[in-house]
Amino acid sequence: MFDSQKTLKQSLDKVTKTACRIKGRIPYRTIDGQFDDLTDRDIAWWTNGFWPGLLWLAHGQTQDKRFAEWARESEVLLDGALLDHFGLHHDVGFMWHLSAVAGYKVDGSKDSLRRGMMAASVLGSRFNLAGRYVRAWNSWGDRFEHTKWAIIDCLMNLPLLYWASEELKDPRFRHIAVAHTETVLKHFIYPDGSSRHIVEFDADNGGFIRSHRGQGYADDTAWSRGCAWLVHGMTLAARYTGRSDFLASAELAARYFLDNLPEDQVPWADFKAPTNKHKDSSAGAIAASGILTLAELVPAQRKAYYVDGAKNMLSALAKTCTAPDNDEALLTHGCVAYHWDKPGQQDTSLIYGDYFYLEALIKLQGGKGLF
């Protein structure tokens, strides 16, 4: 039987042990059981806020001041990316909401406030007014026309904009977040509640052009992590705005996710792929955390359905995806993308999987996440 309290304690113990070695560096995934370090290799990588986020979660549970010190060290290291605006992307929300904004909420640091506002400005500057979307990535020569692309992941970056508007008492950032979410409602969600990963727009007139498979099997399939981003991101949009259409969409996406889980409750990398090759524990962790928040927003008669669904996923992750004791990660069996078969892309640990797993376990005990 799944003991979520015991699992949370074990996870915090492992994070503590790992943090004593890593401290304020920037890990991404484990190699031969030990987390790598992106500090000097790729300081602008999109996942670089999840380690300080994990540390802030651990600090909130334990009040161990070391976690706060190490999270601050990571936050300072990220300045190398923040000062290079041309190298940034829409995932600045992940990077600085989980580091600077989380730290600011703890002690009111003016340096953290400044970093968070700078990141919000970068994110807001990526908004395309004609298409009402936040551009995902940057153009790389003639290979990709990224000025036209938005991706489902961006929903999870928008809390940075809601925070900035609330902190400044200025609605302009919030307007961008709401506009992008309305575009997701219109162009990203299939009738069954699954999600496109990438949508290409006409950057001049904002018209829909086509969808791209991105990290899923095909253009019209359902990459499970993208479906998880939709569940969690639309839930957060509903919580920040109180809008019933956002909540209805979050419920549709959550039901799709839960209804399409395999028997072992660990999602495949793509729900609609003709061949199920890879599991993705990170998708399960992201969705479970979002669904637990969703349970707090719905009427009482529907709450148990979502809590039970999230608990079943977390139980499955604990049973079949817990990393071995000699591995610093919390979870293994993560999948970067369905069709990327290079070493380290499949059946691997991923720092964001660990973050959302710990966040979900905390929510099961009545706690809160950082978004």
Q: Tell me the catalytic residues.
A: 91, 153
Strands 133-134, 198-201: pairing kind: unpaired
**Which strand (E) or helix (H) includes residue 251?**
helix 244-259
Amino acid symbol at 320: T
Of 125, 122, 117, 83, which Cα lies nearest the Cα of 100? Answer: 117
* Alpha carbons 224 and 272: distance in angstroms, whole number: 9
Burial class (CB in 10 A: 0-12, 13-18, 19+), 10: middle
* Alpha carbons 283 and 233: distance in angstroms, whole number: 13
* Alpha carbons 291 and 289: distance in angstroms, whole number: 6
Amino acid symbol at 291: I
In the 8-state DSSP scheme, what is residue 100?
I
- Given the structure tokens 């700078």, which residue do they identify? 118
- Given the structure tokens 């290409």, which residue do they identify? 200
Q: How far is CA 112 from CA 76, 78, 81, 224, in A?
A: 9, 11, 15, 33
* Alpha carbons 306 and 312: distance in angstroms, whole number: 10
Q: Where are the alpha helices (DSSP H) in 78-171?
A: 79-82, 92-96, 102-107, 110-124, 159-168
